[in-house]
Chains A and B, each alone.
Chain A
Amino acid sequence: MEAWISAVLSGILLGLAYGLAAIGLNLIWGVMNVINLSHGAFIALGMFASYFIFKFAGISPFISVFLVLAVGVVLGMIAYFLALHRVILAPELSTLLATYSLSLIIIGLGTFFFTTNPRAIDVGLGSVKVFGAYIPKEKILVGIYSLIFTLLLYLFLYKTWTGKAIRAVSMNITAAKFMGVNTTFILSLAFGIGIALAMVAGALIASVFPFTILTGGVYELKSFVICVLGGLGSPLGALVGGLIMGLLENVLTLKIQVGYVPFLEFLILVIILLVKPTGIMGKE
């Protein structure tokens, strides 16, 4: 029984973090029609940012995550102007290659400076007993933080002028321009927020699992599956997709071999693409 409780709770908590990572990818895709292949690299950067702040300043990842968020927005905006701005209206392949090269640069530099040695942040908060199952406190905090960040994003997109401008740009960039929206700024901001969310998700995950500079790739792949599962362009869908993914990974494995899970995940991906290509929460 405890095993089931632990599996479900772990699934939900990690699912929320996966969801948060996927939202970053989803936002960029939804607003700017860019498939961000540097997503995983930025997740890894978030992990390392959190790690170095913890190591050298002794600040817990759960505090420094706000700093990571701010740095992420700025870094994302810089990356937008460096790599994307000139090709943003070009066919999708150009932006795909632009973000891919960005990823190669980050991973390459990261491998050189950080090596591929595994690192871990040991916050050491201990575990708490929930219905007889022990859950590490870090995992619970990761779940709560992911939920809060998703909520904040939602409020930002739906309740602020800038957020509404982002949504306007995603619906029709020309019309938004006519309404006096500075589309260049909005596009860069959207990319910045997307990157920041990836880095925040990375920073949070790093407090639970060890990582290397290459770890981002694993979560990037998960993010893609989650986006398709939940529906491209829908933040809520990404969260739902993340939860499904987290639960699949944790609950299903109680009964089947762990090695089969990726197979099932991608099988579901193919089925969704065949039956409802817009995803569970996506609009037609």
Chain B
Amino acid sequence: MKRLVAFLVGVSFLMLGLTTSFAKDKIVIGFTMSQTGKLNAESAEQYRGLLLWQKWVNSQGGIYVKALKKKLPVKFVYYDDESSKDRVQQLYVRLISKDKADFLISPYSSGLTASAAVIAEQYGKIMMATGAASDSIFNKGYMHVFQIYTPASRYLTGALDLLKAVDPKAKKVAIVYEQSNFAKAVATAAKKYAEKHGFKVVLFESYAKGTTDFTSFLNKIAAKRPDAIIGGGHFADGETFARQIFEQRIKVKLVSLLVAPAVPKFAEIGKAALYVTAPSQWEPKAKYTEASAKKLGISWYGPTASWFVKTYEKEYKEAPGYHAAGGFIAGLVLQKAIEDAGCLDAEKVRKALEKMDIMTFYGRIKFETGKYYGRQIGHDMVYLQWQEKGGKLVKEVVWPEHAASARLVYPYYKKY
């Protein structure tokens, strides 16, 4: 009997010890990354951005939580998801139930994020979705998933705004896109937007994955004489398309393609790359500043772009791309929401995210609260253009105006 009492007392002391250790001394953020598999490169960059945020916030002592009246440092728990959807679901369950993650960050890519979102929603955990541009994640009624990237439905619409701003008489648009879910979603949305804003879509056609010969499309385009060609898909096809537009001397005023021109390797096609534009989530040259925040009447939050670029380059010996910026901002937005909420309660943080409307070095952040709950509506794509500076091809940001680093060179065929 004595033994039993002693045992019970011991256990109760142990439990007491446990509960005291539950008193928060850190914020645990869980996520998976693709250390292996096909998404490795992009995922690694996103992770490096996220890691830089952790260093930045912990160097200031952590995130201030009003309810606890102190700053809590951020701790990461993460696993390798092998670029696999099935692994993602197992691992996010583990992050929540075993590792007791307070908040979640999505894996890289729309596919994996859609998988992880199911789990986040089931357990009622806030998940910042970065590296995921799909719209369809957000029409499933999830209330805990918030998007950092501009969604696919607004990927190319800015190209049309740009065209309208620079040449109001340009009305004819050709849309040629790859037969992939992402490109199709982008192209369909662009078509809808174009028709709504008084453009005439003279060509709307798709090409098979792996297409290398665009002659047929270009002949058609030449016959229909559009002012702008927009579309594309991935790297190889986009690069080839741009090259063949140049070889056939298509007399078009604006060329805007997905993905390929945003990749530095695009410069290898030389003069064919010149004056091609592309949407990008973020570019190091994008000029979002406190002044641009003031103009919009919203508040500025976080470090400046030049700090981010400089620190990133110092840390990793390479220039940051938009995947890295997306990682950093996912952390930053979460930080802001926790500070606004003043506690770690998921529902209160969710309310803070609903109300959020801020400017960061990555652009504006605001979330939809209607049918597509959690979808990004504040952030705009920036449009870059390949221009010539001192005999070298460089990427310049040309749109939107308040983020531009250079003026758009127009029309495209000026170089012929």
- A contacts, CB < 8 Å to B: 2-4, 6-7, 10, 14, 118, 120, 122, 124, 127, 133-136, 209-211, 215, 218, 249-250, 253-254, 257-259, 261
In the complex where A124-B270, A134-B248, A258-B207 touch, is A210 in contact with B216 (Cβ < 8 A)?
no
Residues of B within 8 Å of A133, CB to CB, are 222, 248
Contacts of A14 in B (CB 8 A): 213, 215
Q: 8 interchain pairs (CB within 8 A)?
A: A2-B222, A120-B239, A122-B243, A122-B268, A122-B269, A122-B270, A209-B240, A257-B205
Q: Which residues of B contact A120 (CB under 8 A)?
A: 239-240, 243
Known contacts A122-B270, A127-B248, A134-B249, A7 near B216 by CB under 8 Å: yes
Contacts A120-B240, A210-B240, A259-B205 given; indicate if A134 touches B247 (C-beta within 8 A).
Answer: yes
Residue B67 is within 8 A (CB to CB) of chain A in the complex: no
Which residues of B, 200-231, contact A by the 8 Å Cβ criterion?
205-208, 210, 212-213, 215-220, 222-223
> Size band of the B side of the interface?
20 to 34
The minimal Cβ–Cβ distance linking B217 to chain A, given in whole angstroms, is 6
Q: Which of B219, B236, B243 contacts A6 (CB 8 A)?
A: B219
| Chain A residue contacts of B235, Cβ below 8 A | 118
Option from B219, B236, B247 in Cβ contact (under 8 Å) with A253? B219
**B215 and A250 within 8 A (CB):** yes
Residues on A with C-beta less than 8 A from B212 are 209-211, 215
Closest chain B CB from A13 CB (angstroms): 10
- Using A6-B248, A134-B249, A259-B207 as known contacts, list a sample of 8 further A-B pairs with CB atoms less than 8 Å apart, ordered by residue number in A: A3-B219, A10-B219, A118-B235, A120-B240, A210-B239, A250-B216, A253-B220, A259-B208
- Chain A residues with CB under 8 Å of B249's CB are 127, 134
Residues of A contacting B239 in the complex (Cβ-Cβ under 8 angstroms): 120, 210
* Cβ–Cβ < 8 Å partners of B208 in chain A: 259
CB contacts (< 8 Å) of B179 on chain A: these are 259
Q: Which residues of B contact A258 (CB under 8 A)?
A: 205, 207, 216-217
How far is A10 from B29 in the complex, measured between Cα atoms in Å? 57
A-B interface contact total, Cβ < 8 Å = 75
CB neighbors of A among B240-265 (8 A): 240, 243, 247-249
| Interface residues of chain B: helix, strand, loop or mixed (majority) | helix
> What's the Cα separation between A124 and B235 when bound, in Å?
20
Closest Cβ–Cβ distance, residue A215 to chain B (whole Å): 7
From B206, B215, B216, name the one whose CB has the most chain A CB atoms within 10 angstroms. B215
Residue of A3, A124, A218 ringed by the most chain B CB atoms within 10 A:
A3
Distance to closest chain A CB from B231 (angstroms): 13
Contact indicator A3/B215 (Cβ below 8 Å): no
Q: Report chain B residues within 8 Å CB of A254.
A: 216, 219-220, 223
Residues on A with beta carbons closer than 8 Å to the beta carbon of B219: 3-4, 6-7, 10, 250, 253-254
Please tell me if the beta carbons of B222 and A3 are within 8 angstroms of each other in the complex. yes
Task: Establish whether residues A127 and B268, one from each chain, have CB atoms under 8 Å apart when the complex forms.
Answer: no
CA A118 – CA B210 in complex, angstroms? 9
Residues of B within 8 A of A7 (CB): 215-216, 219
Closest 5 pairs between A and B when the two form their complex, measured CB to CB: A253-B216, A3-B223, A118-B236, A134-B249, A209-B212
Nearest residue (CB) in A for B211 is A258
- Closest Cβ of chain A to B295, distance in Å, is 43
Give the docked Cα–Cα distance between A122 and B210 (Å): 18
CB distance from A272 to the nearest CB of B (A): 23
Q: How far is the CA of A253 from the CA of B216 in the complex (A)?
A: 6
Question: Among A7, A253, A258, which residue has the most Cβ atoms of chain B within 10 A?
Answer: A258
Chain B: minimal CB distance from A93 (Å)? 30
Q: Cβ of B220: which chain A residues have Cβ within 8 Å of it? A: 3, 253-254
A4 neighbours in B (Cβ, 8 Å): 219, 223
A261 to B243, CA, bound (A): 23
Rounded to whole Å, the gap between the CB of A79 and the closest CB of chain B is 26
Chain B residues positioned under 8 Å from A218 (CB to CB): 210
Which residues of B are found within 8 Å of A135, using beta-carbon distances?
Answer: 248
